[in-house]
Amino acid sequence: MVLVDTSALLALLDREDRYHDDATLVWRRLVLQDEPVICTNYVVVEAIALVQRRLGLAAVRRLLQDLIPWLSIEWVQPEIHEVAISALMAANRRGLSIVDCVSFEVARRKRVSAIFAYDRDFVEHGFTPID
């Protein structure tokens, strides 16, 4: 099972992103191998907002029609939200987001094998990036 971060979704949609080519190869491999791929509803909301701001509504439409249907969305429960808030406050770092903290907790609970992300916070928190 692979967990997807907003950074990977943005890289897939933005041809100018430095990780676009790599992200496209990884995505194709995941789809072809029928690998279970998850993300949280927090990532979906963050991705929609970021893609709309950076790339426009046409890119949001591509996100919603071409990428999101391939993902299993994990809806964040209050318990996970509270654990993530505690982790965010304990980290005391401006660059770490609540969305990332939620993803870390979901990844731990789901025992994901790899993370599809271009955000170094995942590696710093002990997660293995997908090859």
* Bind-site residues for Mg(2+): 5, 100
Rounded to whole angstroms, the Cα distance separating 100 from 58 reads: 26
Structure tokens at 99: 């969305």
CA dihedral angle for residue 118, residue 77, residue 63, residue 23, rounded to 10 degrees: 20
Alpha-carbon separation of residue 26 from 17, 30, 37, 54, 93 (angstroms): 15, 6, 12, 22, 30
Rounded to whole angstroms, the Cα distance separating 126 from 81 reads: 20
Where is the binding site, in residues? 5, 100
